[in-house]
Amino acid sequence: MGVMIAGVYHVDDPAPDTSLDGAYRRQASTIRNALPNGPYEPGRFHLYAAWNCPWAHRVLLTRAVKGLEELITVAYARPRRTPDGWVYDTDGDYADPLFGVTALHQAYAKVDPAYTGRITVPLLWDRAENLAVSNESADLVRMLGTLEGYGPNLAPPEKLDQINAWNDKIYPRLNNGVYRAGFARTQEAYEAGFRDVFTMLDEIETHLATNRYLCGDELTEADLRLFATLARFDVAYHYAFRCNLRRLVDYPHLWGYARDLYSRPEIARTVKPDIYKAGYFSPSELRNPLGIVPLGPHINWAEPQDRVSLSSATS
């Protein structure tokens, strides 16, 4: 992944993600400002995203569920990164309507001409103030998910302890756990990530046997943060990242839960399995030298499910 150092873009990061023990360690986000106070005019914010990035997907899910499409425009990067990192076309579906950048690092150069840090999505830009708000997905999900006057509150105060507890468990073991397995450089590091992934999935499966959502009968940000990983599991993580003990479809309650979320049209519109495969099976010297993208698996997200009945049992 590319990095900027003192405003200069570098294809290779001199501070690698893997340490001497071969374990993958995600680096911290560098832009973490708060949203300015509203009210906001339509199109006030602009989001740099990529369909196949789960961290950007969290924010796209929040935007969709909260009904923030008119407030936040989006520039979708092309599915496969290049030596220039995340890149954009000059027009069409993968163009940037704000600055017209052809590579994401050009947008980061507008944050600070001497910017130093990773070049990642999501990145939220404030048009009115002409500055970057944040490139930390967890912060953006919380800030946007609790905006008053737009859709449901995705982190209501009475459920905040539960939400935070789930986030704190799911992020290191599952959301990032698949990357710890997939990007590991030693057998031991791979197995540690692998075990965390499936221990966490097993725990969630048990919980969802008697709960429609993670926090009972109400959709919250914890569900959206989890869903971004589930949406990619069988088409990407199971194969490309060797998280192959079980598939999502092998978990009756988790698979029903994922389809329950997908049954919401606003969520379904954010799910792009073919783009996930194109991204996760990009050419990689370590993981996929030939860059061949598999044709399967076929997954029927519209398969009937009946999770609604659990709401009355948990309310």
Residues involved in catalysis? 53, 179
CB 58 within 8 A of CB 225: yes
Preceding omega of 294 cis (within 30 degrees of 0): no
For residue 299, which amino acid is it?
I
Q: What element of type H or E holds 124?
A: strand 123-126
Tokens at 290, concatenated: 């030939």
- Where do we find the tokens 């789960």? 54
CA distance 61 to 221: 9
Check if the beta carbon of residue 227 is closer than 8 Å to that of residue 258. Answer: yes
DSSP state of 288: B
Strand order in the sheet with 72-76: 72-76, 45-49, 123-126, 131-134
| Buried/exposed 203-224: b ≥16 CB within 10 Å, e otherwise | ebbeebeebbbbbbebbbbbbb
- DSSP bridge pairs for 47: 74, 124
Instruction: Give the whole-angstrom CA distance, residue 215 versus residue 163.
Output: 7
